[in-house]
Structure 1
Amino acid sequence: MRETRNLEFKETITSTFLKTVSAFSNYDGGTILFGVDDDGNIKGLSDIIKACLDIENKINDTISPQPDYVLEPNEVNKTIKLIVKSGLQKPYLYKSKAYKRNDSATIEVDTLEFSRLVLEGKNISFEELPYKDQNLTFHFLEEQLEKTIQISSFNLDTLKTLNLYDNNNGYNNAAGLLADTNDFPGVDIIKFGENISVIQKRITFDHMSILEVYKKTLEVFRDYYRYEVIE
C-alpha cells in the first residue's frame, strides 16, 4: 500500500494533515490514515479516542468553511481513518490558503486555480462569465452550423439557444471562444528534427474561433504525420 492522490498516511497527528483536508475538500475527496507510516506500515496510536478529538478540533478550528468528513477509529490496530468528502462551498481554506493534491504531494493552488475554485463554489463556470468584448462576429460558427445541421438562419436567437448570449450579460466567455476573433491563446504546433533543438516546422493558431483552431490543427497534424508506404 502506498500514498496516492486520494490517500495519505500520517504516523502521528500534526497540523500538516490540515493542508490535505483542504485539498481533498476542494477536489475529489480522499482518505487520511493516522497511525500509518509513509511506507504503509501500521504503527498505531496510543489513545485513539483522544486522537479523534484532537483531529476533530484541529479541523473545526482551522479549515474554513467547515468541510464534510467522517472519522472511523479502529480499536484493533489503533489507527484512525479520516474520510474527507468533496465539498460544495469551495474553496476550503487552511490559514487563508487553498490546497490541491499533485500525485501524492499536497501543494498550494496558484492564483488562476484559486479563482476557478471560487467560481465553482458559486456554481459558476468560466464559460458562463460575461466576455469583456461584446463586439463579436460568428461567421465561421455560422458556416459550420450550416454544413453540419443545415441551419437555415443564424441570428441572436440562435446564440441564445446555444447559451452563448443572454439579455442581461450579453456574450459570455463561451461565445468569445467561438467568435471569429478573440484574445484567447490557441495552439502552437512544432515538428522537431532529430532532437528538440532542431525545429523543422512551426505554426501557431490563436485569437480565432476555437472551431477554426481545431480544423486547422487537424490539417497540420495530417500534413506532419500521415504517410504511406509503397511496397
Structure 2
Amino acid sequence: MRREDQSTEFKETYVDDIKKTVVAFANTDGGTVFVGVDDSGRVVGVDDVDKTILRAQNALRDAIKPDVTMHVSCSAREVENKTIIAIEVQKGTSCPYYLADKGIRPAGVYVRQGPSSVPASEAAILQMIRETDGGSYESARSLEQSLSFSEAETAFAEAGLTFGEGKRRTLGLVTEDGVHTNLALLLSDQCPHAVKLAVFQGRKKSVFRDRCELSGSVLKQLDGAYEYINRFNRLRSEFKGLKRIDMPDYPEEAIREALLNAIVHRDYALSGPALISIFDDRIEFVTLGGLVKGVSADDIALGISIPRNKRLAEVFYRLKLIEAYGTGIPKIYECYDGTGKQPVIQTTPNAFKVTLPNLNYAAVDRPELNGLTGSEKRAYRLFESNPVVKRSDIEQSLGVSQTMAIRILSHLDDKGLIQREGAGRSTRYRRAETS
C-alpha cells in the first residue's frame, strides 16, 4: 500500500488514537484510516472484522462532538488476500470537531499536517467557528463548555420562567448537538467579559475616588453596576413653598437604559471591558463595538434599532428587563426633557459612548457660576451637553442677538469657563477642562 500522508493513516490494530485522526480528517480535508496495516504499509489484516467495525462506530459516535458519523463510513476491504477495515472520513460541515472529554480547545481539536494529526491552535479553532457558524458571536459555539447558570436560573425563576434544557435550546443557548453557544457563555457564571466602573474627583480622569470590576454572568454584572452607580447618585433637595422636592443627580431610568444598552448591544467578539466613568458633572458609558452597519446615531435617537446581539436582547425582553427594541435611547432623551441639559451620544467604528449630564452639577458643585447672569448660565449649560458650541447655537438656544451672543461668550471665556478655538467663521467654543 502507499505511505501515510495528509489523507492516509495506517493502524495495525484498532486503538483509541484513531478518534484523534478522525477528528483531524473531519476538520481538514478528509482522509482514510486503514486498520490492519502497519506503519510501513505492510498489510497484516484484522481478525474480527465485524466486532472491530462496531467498536469503531460506537466510539466515534460517543467520543466526537458535533456528531461526525454522517461524514464517516466503515467498511471491510480485501487486500493481498487479507481483510482490512477502511474508515473513510469526509471533511465535516460543523467544524471544529473535537473530543467530547477534552472540549473545544487545542487538547480536543485536531487538524491534519502531512502524515500527522496535531492539536489545532486557538486561532485556528476560532477561525473554524467563524467559518461554520457565521458572523454572529452569540450564535457561535463557545470555547468553554463547562458552564453553570446559577444567576440565570435565579433571574428566570424570579420572572416566573423555566430554564430547563428545552428552554435553553429555544433561546439559543444550546445547539441541536447539545453544545453551548456564546450566548450561554454570556449568561453563565463563567462569563469572561467584564464591566469596569470608576469614580473620579472633579471632571478629569486624574484622581480616583473609587473603582470596581464586575465579572460573571452579564445578568449579575447588570445588577452590580446599577447598584454601584446608585451609590453615587446623590439627591438634591429644595423647597417650593411648603413642599420639598428631591432631585437625583441622574434620572434612574436614564441610568437603567444606558446600562442596559451597554450590556445588551456590546460587541462581545472584542475582548475589552465595558467602561463606566462617574465624574462630578457626568457619567460616561463606553462600550466596544460601533453602530450596527446601516444604522446612524440619528436613527438611534429616533428609536430605530437593529440589535447586534438579537438572542441576548430576546432573553432580556423575556426577563422584562427591556420593554421593546429601540426604546432605550429615546427614553434617555425623554428623561432630560425640560431640564436644560441633554445626554450626548458619540460613536466611532469601534465604540459607542453615552454621556449623562449631572442635573444638579451647576447648582451645587460650581459656586463660581453664581456670578453669572441668567443668560450666561443658560449658555453655559449648552457646553455641559455639547462638546462644541458655535455662536449661532447661543443665538438660537437663548433667542438673543449676535451682539449679545458674542458678549455672553466673551464673559464665559474671561471667567475661564470655556475656551475659544479658531477664528472668523470657523470659531468654535469648548468647555474648559478643570479638575
Q: What's the TM-score, normalizing by structure 2?
A: 0.30
The equivalent residue for 2:284 is none
The equivalent residue for 2:41 is 40
The equivalent residue for 2:60 is 59
List structure 1 segments (4+ residues) > 2 angstroms apart after TM superposition: 165-172
Q: 1:149-164, aligned counterparts within 5 Å?
A: none
DSSP 3-state at the match of 2:56: helix
Q: 1:80-116 CA deviation, whole Å, 9 max, x = no partner?
A: 1111011111110113311001111111111111111
* CA distance, structure 1, for counterparts of residue 124 and residue 34 of structure 2: 27
* Greater RCO (CA < 8 Å, at least 6 residues apart): 1
The equivalent residue for 1:69 is 72
Q: 1:110 to 1:36 in 2, by over 3 A?
A: same
Q: 1:171 to 1:8 in 2, by over 3 A?
A: farther
* CA distance, structure 1, for counterparts of residue 119 and residue 75 of structure 2: 27
The answer to whether structure 1 residue 92 and structure 2 residue 97 are counterparts is yes
Q: 1:91 to 1:42 in 2, by over 3 A?
A: same
DSSP 3-state at the match of 2:82: coil
* CA distance, structure 1, for counterparts of residue 134 and residue 34 of structure 2: 31
Q: What's the TM-score, normalizing by structure 1?
A: 0.54
Q: 1:21 to 1:171 in 2, by over 3 A?
A: farther
* 1:63 shift after superposition: 0.5
Gaps (5+ residues) in structure 1? 133-164, 173-231
Q: 1:132-163 CA deviation, whole Å, 9 max, x = no partner?
A: 7xxxxxxxxxxxxxxxxxxxxxxxxxxxxxxx
* CA distance, structure 2, for counterparts of residue 166 and residue 109 of structure 1: 36
Structure 1 letter corresponding to 2:91 = S
The equivalent residue for 1:7 is 8
The equivalent residue for 2:133 is 122
The equivalent residue for 1:104 is 115
**Identical columns (%):** 30
* CA distance, structure 1, for counterparts of residue 15 and residue 35 of structure 2: 10
* CA distance, structure 2, for counterparts of residue 72 and residue 105 of structure 1: 23
Structure 2 letter corresponding to 1:119 = R
Gaps (5+ residues) in structure 2? 103-107, 137-266, 271-292, 296-305, 309-347, 351-435
CA-based RMSD of the aligned residues comes to: 2.7
* 1:123 shift after superposition: 3.6
Structure 2 letter corresponding to 1:98 = V
Structure 2 letter corresponding to 1:90 = C
Q: 1:103 to 1:124 in 2, by over 3 A?
A: farther
Structure 1 letter corresponding to 2:92 = G
Structure 1 letter corresponding to 2:89 = V
The equivalent residue for 1:22 is 23
Aligned length: 139
